[in-house]
């Protein structure tokens, strides 16, 4: 079962990094979409939701085009910094982050739109800067909705398969996450390993859900 634990550790590492990136980018994008007034807002919204709709393999292919050794970003990274993302766990993080991004972005946008602007106006009149209003009013009131999206994103990142396989491959101990390890074990006829991996995955998911229930703030901010 040694490889299973390695795969689990890798899955958690990749999913946590991907979720952390999505939290920052998703909240920023969700806020811009909810409060910003700029032309093409709905088009941007649709584009940001694409990863939810496109098959992960298609996303993986796009990623290869962009960050692959001959991709326009990948070639530049390699030339300037000697960085190569393909077949690395960092590549897997990028794939998982992109696939899970819409969950955070969409729920953050809805959560921000649900915050009554009168609270923000009241805070401004009381002398707060826009940044202070965001951190003291908008974010706390939207937090529950954002957290729900973050948990979904984490779950999605944990189970990510297609795009990760295309970008990061399946290198045991390096890029072979749980979901990929399950596939490999079944293909190789290693039923015992597959059983163990599947059980481990299920237990991990239940544990994450239980933890999420604990972390969620008990107090629901009411609306007067």
Least gap, CB of 108 to other proteins (angstroms)? 13
Residues 122-151 that bind other proteins (CB under 8 A): 122-129, 131-132, 135-137, 140-141
Q: How far is CA 192 from the centre of its chain?
A: 31
Q: Which is nearer to other proteins, 57 or 129 (CB)?
A: 129
For residue 219, the minimal CB distance to other proteins (Å) is: 7
Say whether residue 39 binds other proteins (CB under 8 A): no
What is the C-alpha separation between 84 and 77, in angstroms, rounded?
7
Name the residue nearer to other proteins (CB basis): 37 or 70.
37
Interface with other proteins in residues 184-223 (CB under 8 A):
219, 221-223
Q: Please report whether residue 114 would count as binding other proteins according to CB under 8 A.
A: yes
| Cβ-based nearer residue to other proteins, 60 or 145 | 145
Q: Which stretch binds other proteins (CB under 8 A): 3-11, 120-128, 157-165, 169-177?
A: 120-128
Q: Which is nearer to other proteins, 116 or 191 (CB)?
A: 116
Between residues 2 and 125, which has the closer beta carbon with respect to other proteins? 125
Q: How distant, in Å, are the alpha carbons of 58, 64, 124, 196, 205 from that of 61?
A: 5, 5, 46, 31, 28
Q: Determine, following the binding rule CB under 8 A, whether residue 31 of this chain makes contact with other proteins.
A: no
# binding residues, other proteins (CB under 8 A): 27
DSSP codes joined into one string, the chain: -HHHHHHHHHHHHHHHHHHHHHHHHHHHHHHHHHH---TTHHHHHHHHHHHHHS-HHHHHHHHHHHHSTTSHHHHHHHHHH----TTSHHHHHHHHHHHHHHHHHHHHHHHHHTS-HHHHHHHHHTT--HHHHIIIIIHHHHHHHHHHHHHHHHHHHHH--HHHHHHH---TTTT--HHHHHHHHHHTT-HHHHHHHHHHHHHHHHHHHHHHHHHS-SPPPP--
Residue 57 tokens read as 């393999």
Site string for other proteins, 83-112 (x = CB under 8 A): ---------------------------x--
Interface residue with other proteins, options 121, 171, 205, 211 (CB under 8 A)? 121
The answer to whether 113 contacts other proteins (rule: CB under 8 A) is yes
Q: What residues line the site for other proteins (CB under 8 A)?
A: 110, 113-114, 116, 118-119, 121-129, 131-132, 135-137, 140-141, 219, 221-224
């Amino acid at each position: 079962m040694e490889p299973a634990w390695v795969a689990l550790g890798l899955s958690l590492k990749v999913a946590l990094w991907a979720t952390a990136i999505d939290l920052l980018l998703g909240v920023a994008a969700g806020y811009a979409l909810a409060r910003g007034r700029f032309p093409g807002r709905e088009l941007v919204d649709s584009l940001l939701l694409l990863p939810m709709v496109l098959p992960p393999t298609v996303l993986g292919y796009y990623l290869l085009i962009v960050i692959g050794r001959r991709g326009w970003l990948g070639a530049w990274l390699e030339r300037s910094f000697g960085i190569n993302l393909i077949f690395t766990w960092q590549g897997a993080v990028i794939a998982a982050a992109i696939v899970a991004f819409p969950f955070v972005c969409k729920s953050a946008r809805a959560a921000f739109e649900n915050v009554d602007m009168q609270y923000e106006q009241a805070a401004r009149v009381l002398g707060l800067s826009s940044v202070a209003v965001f951190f003291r009013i908008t974010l706390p009131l939207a937090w529950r909705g954002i957290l729900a999206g973050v948990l979904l994103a984490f779950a999605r990142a944990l189970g990510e398969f297609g795009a990760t396989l295309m970008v990061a491959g399946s290198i045991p101990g390096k890029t072979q996450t749980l979901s990929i390890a399950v596939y490999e074990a079944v293909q190789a006829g290693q039923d015992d390993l597959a059983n163990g991996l599947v059980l481990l995955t299920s237990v991990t998911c239940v544990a994450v859900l239980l933890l999420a229930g604990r972390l969620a703030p008990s107090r629901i901010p009411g609306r007067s």
